[in-house]
Amino acid sequence: MSEFHAPVDDIVFSLRHVARADRLADWDDELAAEIIAHFAAFAEGRIAPLDAAGDQQGCRLVDGRVRMPDGFGEVYGELAEQGWQGLSAPEEHGGQGLNGAVRAGVSEIFTAANHSLQMVTSLVPGAVSVLMHFGTEEQKAAWIPPLAEGRWLSTMALTEPGAGSDLSVIRTRAAKDGDTWRIDGEKIFISGGDQDMSEGIFHLVLARSGPTEAGVKGLSLFACLSDLPDGTRNPISVTRIEEKLGLHASPTCQLAFDGAIGHLVGEEGGGLKAMFAMMNHARIDVALQGVAHAARAADLARRYAAERQQGRDATGQPVTIDRHADVARMIDTCDALAIGGRALCHLTLVAEALGDAHDFVEFMTPLCKYFCTDAGTCAADLAIQVMGGYGYLREYGAEQNWRDARICAIYEGTNGIHARTTATRSLKMNGGAGIAAFAGFLRDSGAAFEALAEGWVEEAQRVAASNDPAVEAHAFMETTCDLAYRAAWARVAAAADAAPDADRLKRLAGLVETGAL
């Protein structure tokens, strides 16, 4: 397995100079860079070495409980002890209170080092966010500290057999039982549904508390703890672990809730609203997973091509394959996709943290998820192509990078669903506020985007007014993503002089601008 090298300089540059995180009231430039670099060292030294071994060993179901691959529990213990699980949790509840921009840098590095382990641990910030927005003061005090300390990990239990994207047909039932509820039903595709790394698991479960005919309005959100106060197990069992293309060290579980004790989070009937708060966080995190795979692909391809000799130059001297135009194009494409996708995510996250651009954030979140996850798979595929037959071998890491990247375009809403939602809902939200927000982003990216913004607005309004916008959803999303990517690169180019590797960024920016990449 090729060694992992965290793209610390690229991440810090993007946060500082492209997304302008210095506009955040709690931004400390020096501290942010130090934290990201410190985590990178931990990821390179401790987390990444488990990636290939964990992929080969996978997870096991033993006596109804999940067993993680060798070494995962030990490294997770170090992760929790160092405070990484509570990085952005509020200080009053045992966290470090850092902003989402810093967490984004850490999350990307974590994914590239070991996506499986990141997947099992990554839902904690979203769970904390749900509790902060919808939980009672008693719930916050009881549940956030063990999440922040790493004693608990979290899950998001939505999907059921026959109820994937259509949550209105969820069948899992919640019945009132005194001060608590009893949950009965089955959930599938639950990442980290069980594991043996943390003391407990905090399940956030979407269940039907109202009549079936109420549709999504009859859904409520419940917290189901894996262990009850008396030390017994809550009746939540793992019926199987899915056998997947990738993420072999991340247990994707089918769970049975057999009268499990649950606690209402938020209002009865308000489950979808509360759950979407967690899902929106997860979608940006998944977008960053795509970025991580693209950056990993660029690094794998670049390092391999710089050493692999094939062919000769005009003087007859042997050359490495990175000197061949087509190979150089593929490496540059991987690099550019990672940098541009990262910029889009960081711009969206900083806008969200500033709190004054709600319409922009709402429009950009599905766009980031769509573009960056496609970019991750594309770059991972190109890295295999650069490496040829060796890329197809397990020992070089490129094939695992592709397998692990592939899920990103599927979970947290398939990319097709996000395209359809953008065309059918986002263009119409708040009287076209999403259209105005995205057009403003284009215009603010440079004079070259003025005419492009006008043309895009006309197209967006036409699609929104059509009889069936869903028919045009894919083509429209592709056009929108292309413009967003180019606008992000225009901002990267404008700030390139501040980067440690300015010449590389300027060269790539020129290739993106001319359409060579």
Active site residue 412: yes
What is the rounded distance in angstroms from the CA atom of residue 189 to the CA atom of residue 207? Answer: 16
Taking the CA atoms of residue 423, residue 424, residue 430 and residue 436 in that order, the dihedral angle to the nearest 10 degrees is: 10
DSSP state letter for 90: -
What is the rounded distance in angstroms from the CA atom of residue 286 to the CA atom of residue 406? Answer: 11
342 burial level (CB within 10 Å; 0-12, 13-18, 19+) = buried
What is the rounded distance in angstroms from the CA atom of residue 210 to the CA atom of residue 171? Answer: 11
Q: What's the sign of the alpha-carbon dihedral 75, 77, 81, 85? A: positive
DSSP state letter for 69: P
Q: What's the sign of the alpha-carbon dihedral 150, 88, 51, 195? A: positive
pLDDT of residue 186: 96
Structure-block tokens of residue 441: 């982003």
For 296, 333, 392, 395, the CA distances from 389, given in Å and listed in that order, are: 18, 20, 5, 11
Which position among 44, 412, 458, 478 bears the catalytic label? 412
- Comparing CA positions, the residue from 150, 8, 13 lying closest to residue 85 is 150
pLDDT of residue 403: 98
End-to-end CA, the chain: 29
SS3 191: strand
The segments of the chain whose pLDDT lies below 50 read: none
Contacts made by residues 271-274, CB under 8 angstroms, sequence distance 24+: 271/206, 271/207, 271/209, 271/219, 271/220, 271/221, 271/222, 272/167, 272/206, 272/216, 272/219, 274/130, 274/133, 274/134, 274/221
Structure-block tokens of residue 336: 């550019």
